[in-house]
Structure 1
Amino acid sequence: MKRASIKDIARIAGVSVATVSYVLNRKEGQRISEDTKKKIFEVAETINYIPNRNARSLKNNKSKLLGLIVADISNEFYSNIARKLEDKALQLGYTLIIGSSDENAGKFEKLIELFSQQQVDGMIVAPVVGSEGSLLKLIEKNYPVVTIDRYLKGINLPGVILNNREIAETTTDFLLQKAFDQIIYIGYDTKLEHLLDRQKGFESCISEFKNDILVKKILVGIENISDEIQASLSDALGKNPKNIALYFSSNKLAVAGLAYLIKNNIKVPQDVSVLAFDETDAYQLFPAEITHIKQPLEEMADEAIAILDSQINQYSKTSKKITLSASLILQNSVK
């Protein structure tokens, strides 16, 4: 099968080859309308146009490769954001190489070394505990890097993060207004700042609440989540729970908790109400529709790719972090 070319894109889009070249190569100084740019990208995707990376590399000394390091590719959040990042990268002519650190600082460092050997033009990373040294090395080399979803204190890198503390305060206040007898927060025993922000948002809102309410926190390790959640909920809920709200700070924690509720015939929302941070297709297997916090994945991918592309092409060298807002999606799992 003949490989699609920029001439094919130009013919289908009804523009000149030069215009296609300017758009796909992100050249500045040309007055090309946004509608024309959008049409060119759409045609390129439709006919499965693949840039000739070798030719481009010789011409501008760029590989048109990007590296993405996620914390756990088995987590639906990271697999979904990876797909959206891949789509956004392709629109700009980049190929995305994906690696999963599995929350391991050693593996994180090896992936950075591997991507560097592959001569990627830049990296998008979700830092893990203990990865400060690896990131500092990239900063020293002036390597284009953007963090996504997470951040580390003391590491000055541009990034795209969520308003974790603010949305946690909003959702906690929502639960407090429901007059539950008890609210149980289920989170992680961790040093990761974005997860601590969720916990701090919960604690801050609880501390300002005037009425008496029983509050409990369950913090589990990243490993053996299912066993720890089941043991903790067994102790916290007892045999006949009533008018209790469970606030899970991640989708993985929520899935483990929902499995416990099903196994023990605890009904939602009749016996306990459930609110979870982030979404997952696994919620669809549960009888009740789960009230959850939805992250703006499309916007996160857009911003991360745009920032990295600007660094690579030296349009800007910012260390600014962009904070995006999540949304509370109300379903019937909260009474």
Structure 2
Amino acid sequence: MKRTSIKDIARIAGVSVATVSYVLNKKEGSRISESTKEKILEIAETINYTPNKMAKSLKTNKSKLIGLILADISNDFYSTIARNIENAAMKLGYTLLIGSSDENPQKFKKLIDLFSEQQVDGMIIAPVVDSDEAVEKLIKEEYPVVTIDRYLKNVEIPGIVINNTEISEQIGQFLVEKKFDEIVYIGYDTELPHLQDREEGFNQCISSSGVHSIKILVGLENIEGEVHQGIDKVLKNNTKNKALYFSSNKLALAGLAYLIKNKINVPEDISVIAFDETEAYNLFQTEISYVRQPLQKMAEEAVKILDGQINNYIPNGKKVTFNAELIHKSSVK
């Protein structure tokens, strides 16, 4: 079926295309009678006229589309971020296109190319390792772009982050004050700066505390297997009063699965604290202590900064740091 256009409305109403455009776009200052306006609107409704968004975007130079590239949409953290970004974007009249890079730099670049082809007005991205070149290309082309959750050390770009180093140091201090004989940090063997910041915060606290600590660093390919293997080695020594600090919810879920399988009670046998929340914690018999990030505020600020770039009222380079919060539950004795 042929798509109806404003030309069809103009022909039926016996007026010019410009007159129809003025009425449908609700432009002020035109000398069009109320009867003509009503006639045009009635015809548009009768023939089920819908605006051609692509044509409109060519005239306004805006598509009202935003691209969102996440690292792993299956993770509760990123799915919640996406939902909040979508809500914030819709309030400003944007539609969201979402892609998941799965920590793959090639897929990350393909998503950037795809969203560019879709003529999105800007992008909110969670960079992956080796994505610097793709992001620098966007910046060189003066493309509106904002990072969320993550950042790149060598690329100056607007972004939303949390106080990873400081909150991780607070967690370390909290565990030190509980007088554990051994504190185990379970994190990633990665070049991602925000995760390195968490490890650094832990290091800063523990190095000056005198408390014995162990680090288990795993890759992204076999998280569950490496976490299980690492905890198994830790538990083979005879230190009784231990605490496990997981630097992400994905690591925490892998660790909790190991503890359940081996009938290790929390916090009676071992204490647990985790970065990020997830609904999956509710399946565990003990309430898990965790770090809460202000995801709604982060999402709203990301959209605000991107919209500012798109409309040229917020300069490039703005970074915003939010404070995370340690939520005390019963998994730490």
- Please classify the TM superposition score into its range, dividing by the shorter chain length: 0.7 to 0.9
After superposition, residues 239-318 of structure 1 pair within 5 angstroms as: 242-318=240-316
- Distance in 1 (alpha carbons) for counterparts of 2:202 and 2:238: 26
Q: Does 1:327 align with 2:325?
A: yes
Alignment of 1:99-248 (within 5 A): 99-209=99-209, 212-238=210-236, 242-248=240-246
The worse-fitting range, judged by mean Cα deviation, of 311-320 and 292-301 is 311-320
Please say if residues 241 and 271 of structure 1, whose CA atoms lie closer than 8 Å, have aligned partners that are also in contact: no
Kindly indicate whether the alpha-carbon contact (under 8 Å) linking 2:293 and 2:323 is maintained by their aligned counterparts in 1.
yes
Instruction: Find the residue that maps to 1:276 and give its secondary structure.
Output: strand
CA deviation after TM superposition for structure 1 residue 241, in Å: 6.2
Q: Check the 8 A contact 2:68/2:96 in 1, yes or no.
A: yes
Alpha-carbon separation, structure 2, partners of 1:315 and 1:55:
25
Take 1:92 and 1:52, find their aligned partners in 2: how far apart are those partners? 20
Counterpart CA distance in 2 for 1:197 and 1:237 is 27
Please state how far the C-alpha of 1:51 moved relative to its aligned partner. Answer: 9.3
How do 1:14-33 and structure 2 match up within 5 A?
none
> Which consecutive segments of 4 or more residues in structure 1 shift more than 3 A?
50-56
User: 1: CA distance between counterparts of 2:73 and 2:308?
Assistant: 26
**Equivalent residues of 1:51, 1:93 under 8 A apart:** no
* Partner residue, 1:64: 64
User: In structure 2, what is the Cα distance between the partners aligned to 1:167 and 1:214?
Assistant: 20
TM-score between the two structures when normalised by the length of structure 2 = 0.83
The alignment's TM-score, normalised by the length of structure 1, stands at 0.83
Distance 1:119 1:221 in 2: 35
TM-superposed CA distance for 1:53, in Å, is 3.8
| CA–CA distance in structure 2, aligned partners of residues 274 and 222 of structure 1 | 21
Task: Report the CA distance between 1:213 and its aligned residue.
Answer: 2.1
5+ residue gaps, structure 1, are 1-20, 23-49
How far 1:154 sits from its partner (Å)?
A: 1.1
Name the SS of the counterpart of 2:160 in structure 1: strand
* C-alpha distance in structure 2 between counterparts of 1:52 and 1:61, whole Å: 14
Seen in structure 2, the aligned counterparts of structure 1 residues 94 and 220 have a Cα distance that, compared at 3 Å, is: same
Report which of the two structures shows the higher radius of gyration computed on alpha carbons: 2
Q: Is the 8 A contact 1:274 1:333 kept in 2?
A: yes
> How many residues are paired up?
286
Q: Note if contact 1:247-1:274 (Cα within 8 Å) is conserved in structure 2.
A: yes
Hey, what's the Cα distance between the residues in 1 that align with 2:148 and 2:304? 12
In the aligned structure 2, how far is the partner of 1:232 from the partner of 1:171? 21
In structure 2, runs of 5+ residues without a counterpart are 1-24, 27-49
Q: Determine helix, strand or coil for the equivalent of 2:307.
A: helix
Contact persistence 1:190–1:221 (CA under 8 A): yes
The question of whether the paired residues in 2 share the 8 Å contact of 1:53 and 1:64 is answered with no
Question: Do the aligned residues in 2 keep the contact of 1:241 with 1:272 (CA within 8 Å)?
Answer: no
- Cα separation, 2, equivalents of 1:265 and 1:290: 17
AA paired with 2:224? S
Q: Which SS does the other structure have where 1:234 is aligned? A: helix
Amino acid at match of 1:322: V
SS of the aligned residue for 2:300 comes to: helix
Tell me the SS of whatever aligns to 1:333.
coil
SS of the counterpart of 1:93? coil
Q: 1:308 & 1:129 partners in 2: Cα distance? A: 23
CA shift digits 1:4-52 (9 cap, x unpaired): xxxxxxxxxxxxxxxxx99xxxxxxxxxxxxxxxxxxxxxxxxxxx997
Is the CA contact 2:184–2:242 (under 8 Å) kept in the aligned structure 1?
yes
- Aligned alpha-carbon RMSD (Å): 1.7
